[in-house]
Chain A
């Protein structure tokens, strides 16, 4: 992890500009591992100062997936705080900058939900489903969004 992902300039920039970065040893920092229910490494969490968890990943992430995860995590924090415009901006970044990422489909899903929650326009949900159906078929997110098909 240190030799590949964390030495990438874009990853360094994104983490340094947006987060307080913390490394905890699963064996030695057991109190925190128990508190956040962490059982395997690497596990990445995005938490706010009140310890609300906005995103979690278990397992190694190569550079592109890490950038997508961090961007999606920032979007999810905004979503959880009902800052839907900020959230949509971040979800759009995932969709356009990392379209091959496994997280792009999740970003489409949450972009649709954010659009709906912002203006209560159900067409946001059906648009999200159409995009998932055409671009990310057979993903779990396409299946979850299939109830929005109209």
Chain B
């Protein structure tokens, strides 16, 4: 098993300095850094076998197409989906949710129908549903959270009704780090024949995702949040759902026969992949997933658990530090404020010390409003971070306090 020094050596950007100081990259919830093998895989496409996929008869096109479909199978295997027809490549989590919200709305939603979300959701899992509800005359219902930042399941059960058409929740909160009780959420919804979409944007990086076990109807995630390139994501949908849903984008490759009178659609998953897909991105994503498997999913999970425990204990011990999201079940993300100091001030000073955190609402304004605040400082850690970096953050926080005392 690789040790932390070897792991960090795989990620070239981790060696750089910012403002003359070593980079402490604690913004993995926003995007992750890339290992050399992923960079090489993407370059290799452009350097040696780039050709448009599914369209050509020539060697390059064949090689790219094969690599793209191999990537699809790797994704299927990584998330343990049933069939590769259930794996659709998209532009990312936001693209995936917008697509499903649109198509599901077209096919199934009537005025008065309800969609259930949670208070913890990222705007990507709120706005597309709001837009669809507005178009279709449907209503959003929101599962509340307690002060620890956890879903109140009893309230969720009350929201499920004969009007509910779909439940869409995150696997983990990007703002607070809380893991949602997806098993209970899915079980309850399924017992009422209601489908569930799980937003895996944060979960894919940290969780051991097994879609067969989870049994959700849709699962979405972004490549750039699991050490893969930007501009590529995945939409998983159970075959029975994807077969019924209309496409959300029209164009080349998603068609069977086209005439101006009528066009019929291609089979799954191509029905949902209009235009030239980001095949270098998909190939890069597959390489990133291979990298994660090489390091070991359980090993990664245990490293991140150690980091979370250490960071939580060190930060909790700091005077005047307020932690948000104190669930026992969390990913390695910590949201906090220094008492009486604006998050922007904290973030700006930490930045000058080489520490990259995110400040503000984290595209999750409703959960900030729930706590009556307008933002926090968020440190989102992953397996290539270290305890020394957490120490540096704590030193940085003391520095911030002294500057604004």
Do A and B make up one complex?
A: no
